[in-house]
Amino acid sequence: MLIKGLQKASFVDWDGKIATVLFCAGCNFKCGFCFNKELVNSSSELVEIPEKKILEFLESRKNFIDGVVITGGEPCLQKDLPEFIAKIKLPVKLDTNGSNPEILEYLIKNKLINYIAMDIKAPLNRYQEVAKSKILNLKSKILKSINLIIESGIDHEFRSTLVPGIHTEKDIKKMAQLIKGGKRYFLQNFKPGNTLDSRLKNTKPFASLEKFARIADRIIQTKIR
């Protein structure tokens, strides 16, 4: 596992739980509005944390935390992700962009994860453009991941970061329709600053997401985070 970040305790990454957060390096998306650009680019400036050290830390904290969040980057790029999760003796939440349904299906079937959060980047017809990804058959992979999550029986959420100039009200309706049947949908406002695309660093976020939330909530339970 290529892990280049560890947050000892978080109260916001898994609703209702105190969690340790592990940050995997590398991502197959290059969303311009991403604020974890160091992890996306798998920067050599970030020090890799040995797996042994992480497992020892989790063991020492097992009576003080409720679970572990594995995020990124994109965790499902890590070939040994299933083996690593199997070594964690705590509930696990997985954050994913949904681009690797095969790994996701394996994790679900083998009951290795307790909660899944999948990012919805854009309407399906604009996914490649917004994610800036060259993954073959990306649309079908995204759809397969969505269906796997909805049908898994595992607690889950879908979420979208909304960016002025990228997302419109029509987009939100299409995005919500993609995940119809899911448990919940969270909308979060774009945060300017340390973005992957430097041209977005001074972009002002939406004044409010209330209108977007009302549109999506007609299709799937939606809240603003």
Domains of the chain: 3-161 (3.20.20.70)
Q: What is the pLDDT of residues 180-202, one digit of tens each?
A: 999 999 999 999 888 888 888 88
Entry pTM: 0.95
Higher local confidence (pLDDT), 62 or 37: 62
**Whether pLDDT at 45 is above 80:** no
What's the whole-number mean pLDDT along residues 204-224? 97
Higher local confidence (pLDDT), 160 or 38: 160
Residue whose tokens read 């977005």: 200
Identity of residue 210: E
Q: Are strands 92-96 and 67-71 parallel, antiparallel or unpaired?
A: parallel
Q: Which band of pLDDT confidence, cut at 50, 70 and 90, is reported for residue 205?
A: very high
DSSP H or E segment with residue 101: helix 101-109
What's the whole-number mean pLDDT along residues 29-46? 81
Q: For 180, what's the count of Cα atoms within 13 Å in the CB-facing half-sphere?
A: 8
Q: Is the distance from CB of 68 to CB of 93 less than 8 angstroms?
A: yes
